[in-house]
């Protein structure tokens, strides 16, 4: 870096129905299968394991982290660390998953791995109580702050309709590889938080987005900033009262994970797991229609694995 090194049963039934539709039927699609390493999957979905083990399986299917991270590269991993709550409330990305991603990066030869988020609650408390700070440091990553405007640099969004420029965290611009690690959850304004929504944590002025058509701004930024890899944490899913949640009663343990280099595809699949469609999540629909990614999952090669 430069100068700054630093639910109810009915709801549950709907979600199960959504995941059934998304992946062609749970019993048939998520049978234990032998990985076909010759298939260049566009998206991998894994179910019924712990976050770290699901990521291991997903990366094996995707051809390994070495496809995304080369020796001596600098990587930035961007989880959702927005809230000062414990992992069980599912407002932030699962720390076990974050730790495993970092390990894969170093195993692939990464020189440095940074972890950060522009938090909503106090950044130090959010980093600590989410469990992500400890998980990241234990894995050898550097935890960086994002709480002051000086960390951000203005960038243009050439294809933006509402969002034509913004200030982006310098880590994103300075690193070789960008890994986006959202948690799937309910969001009061955006309907869902997934990959594209998680990018609001790499910019400074999020209030502009909320005042100027939030869904369009999310889609606009997706036209500019495309992570090298997206890992959707759907191990615990907040069904209501998002984005922060109220209690663990808002959360259902679902044990899913989605991995893709296409944010629109990842978010489309995640929406179906949640029990909804992109017609009800405007930013996914807008981004898909604009061609910022693929929202028609039938056009993709999808690897589906049950642990």
- The predicted pLDDT at position 38 comes to 54
In this structure, is residue 30 part of a structural domain? Answer: no
- The predicted pLDDT at position 36 comes to 54
The count of domains in the chain is 1
The residue with greater pLDDT, 15 or 190, is 190
Could you tell me if 51 and 155 are in contact, meaning their C-beta atoms sit under 8 angstroms apart? Answer: no
Check pLDDT > 80 for residue 307: yes
pTM of the model: 0.89
Check pLDDT > 60 for residue 188: yes
In this structure, is residue 27 part of a structural domain? Answer: no
In this structure, is residue 119 part of a structural domain? Answer: yes
Paired with 185 in beta bridges are 193, 238
In this structure, is residue 57 part of a structural domain? Answer: yes
Please report, for the domain that includes residue 179, its CATH number: 3.40.50
In this structure, is residue 28 part of a structural domain? Answer: no
In this structure, is residue 31 part of a structural domain? Answer: no
pLDDT in tens, 21-74: 344 433 233 434 445 555 679 999 999 999 999 999 999 999 999 999 999 999
Cα–Cα distance for residue pair 137/127, rounded to 1 Å: 11
In this structure, is residue 147 part of a structural domain? Answer: yes
DSSP string, 79-97: E---SSS-GGG-SS--HHH
Check pLDDT > 70 for residue 285: yes
Provide the residue range defining the domain that includes 103.
9-22+38-306
pLDDT in tens, 199-244: 999 999 999 999 999 999 999 999 999 999 999 999 999 999 999 9
In this structure, is residue 73 part of a structural domain? Answer: yes
Could you tell me if 221 and 196 are in contact, meaning their C-beta atoms sit under 8 angstroms apart? Answer: yes
CB atoms within 10 A of CB 250: 21
- The predicted pLDDT at position 25 comes to 37
The enclosing H or E element of 146 equals none
């Amino acid at each position: 870096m430069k100068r700054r090194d630093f639910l109810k049963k009915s709801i549950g039934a709907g979600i199960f129905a959504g995941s059934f539709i998304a992946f062609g039927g749970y019993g048939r699609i998520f049978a234990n299968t032998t990985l076909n390493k010759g298939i260049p999957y566009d998206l991998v979905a894994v179910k019924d394991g712990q976050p770290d083990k699901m990521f291991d399986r997903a990366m094996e299917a995707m051809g390994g982290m070495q496809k995304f991270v080369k020796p001596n590269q600098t990587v930035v991993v961007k989880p959702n660390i927005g809230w000062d709550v414990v992992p069980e409330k599912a407002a932030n990305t699962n720390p076990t998953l974050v730790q495993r991603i970092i390990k894969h990066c170093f195993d692939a030869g990464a020189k440095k791995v940074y972890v950060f988020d522009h938090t909503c609650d106090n950044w130090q408390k959010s980093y600590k109580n989410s469990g992500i700070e400890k998980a990241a440091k234990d894995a050898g990553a550097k935890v960086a702050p994002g709480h002051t405007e000086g960390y951000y640099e203005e960038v243009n969004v050439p294809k933006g309709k509402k969002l034509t420029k913004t200030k982006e965290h310098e880590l994103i611009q300075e690193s070789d590889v960008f890994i986006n690690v959202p948690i799937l959850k309910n969001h009061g304004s955006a309907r869902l938080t997934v990959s594209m929504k998680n990018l609001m944590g790499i910019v400074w002025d999020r209030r502009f987005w909320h005042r100027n058509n939030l869904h369009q701004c999310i889609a606009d930024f997706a036209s500019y900033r495309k992570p090298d890899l997206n890992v959707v944490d759907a191990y615990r899913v907040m069904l209501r009262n998002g984005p922060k949640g109220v209690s663990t009663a808002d959360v259902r343990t679902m044990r899913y994970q989605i991995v893709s280099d296409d944010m629109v595809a990842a978010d489309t699949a995640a929406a179906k797991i949640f029990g909804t469609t992109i017609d009800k999540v405007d930013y996914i629909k807008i981004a898909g229609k604009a061609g910022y990614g693929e929202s028609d999952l039938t056009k993709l090669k999808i690897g589906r694995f049950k642990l």
